[in-house]
Amino acid sequence: MKNAGTVELLCDSVKWIEEVPRVALLVYASMPGYFDVLFAGTNGTLLELSTWIQRPGSVFSHERVRVVRQEAIVVGVTVELPHHELTQRQRNDSSWLLQHSNAAQRRNLATNAELLRAVAPPPCDGAYYLRCLAVDENRRGLGLGHQLMSACVSNAINGGFNSLHLDVRADNAAAVALYRHHGFAQVGETIVPAAKWHTIHMVREGLSGEI
């Protein structure tokens, strides 16, 4: 891998603010349907997502974004967080949405609640969540996904979590194969026909025995 860096928190770089638009693009590409619904009617999905990445307390906050860079450019990202943070951060995001939306936007969110819930699984004790993993489409096949996934598993183990959860689009065969390679098994799925949405919920159990 050419000049591949280590996986680190986005905000460990003094220039992280300048990287937010690129990170937003990668995070968006991992679940475009979700963000298009979440930010419908705003000034722009990528602009809004960039705001969330800069906002402390959000699920997608820079506090929870990890990146890998090549030649000083962000080429892969993960958003991962422990279960006990998920509820509070979801609550922060919903409160923020309520306070920064109009009635039409709120109606849209309420109408699409089933889809939004499909990618916001309820937290369970002892779990660590990988909410997003994305690699620049021009840098795929270089092992970056494996590098990000291995780092995420290490973070979960080092944090004392017993299981690692994620959701992935059912038609993303490459991602599903990557997760299976890293020991994940499918435990459920969510299908929202109206939104043409089909995700698989995958879990890797028994992390506490891998220390």
Partner 1 sequence: MPFRNRAAIKEFILKHVAERSGATLPNDVPDSFDLLEQGIIDSLGLVDLVAAIEAASGVEIDLSAIPLDELTVVGALATCVDKAVVAARSGDTTKATCKQ
Find the distance separating the first CA and the last CA of the chain, reported in whole Å. Answer: 28
Q: Is 116 in the site for partner 1 (CB under 8 A)?
A: yes
Q: In the complex, what is the shortest distance from the CB of residue 57 to partner 1, in angstroms, rounded to a whole number?
A: 10
Q: Is 3 in the site for partner 1 (CB under 8 A)?
A: no
Specify the residue, 3 or 43, whose C-beta has the smaller distance to partner 1: 43
Q: Interacting stretch for partner 1, rule CB under 8 A, among 12-20, 74-82, 114-122, 148-156?
A: 114-122
Q: Is 194 in the site for partner 1 (CB under 8 A)?
A: no
Q: In the complex, what is the shortest distance from the CB of residue 133 to partner 1, in angstroms, rounded to a whole number?
A: 23
Specify the residue, 93 or 136, whose C-beta has the smaller distance to partner 1: 93
Strand pairing report for 8-9 and 73-82: unpaired
Q: Under 8 Å CB-to-CB from 100, ≥6 apart: which residues?
A: none
> Which position has the token pair 């995001």?
93
Q: Is 56 in the site for partner 1 (CB under 8 A)?
A: no
CA distance 82 to 183: 19
Phi/psi at 111 (nearest 5 deg)? -65, -35
Q: Is 40 in the site for partner 1 (CB under 8 A)?
A: no
Q: Is 97 in the site for partner 1 (CB under 8 A)?
A: yes
- Report the run of H or E that residue 182 belongs to, with start and end: none
> Which position has the token pair 């958003």?
79
CA distance 136 to 145: 10
Binding stretches for partner 1 (CB under 8 A): 87, 90-95, 97-100, 102-103, 106-107, 109-110, 113, 116-117, 120, 122
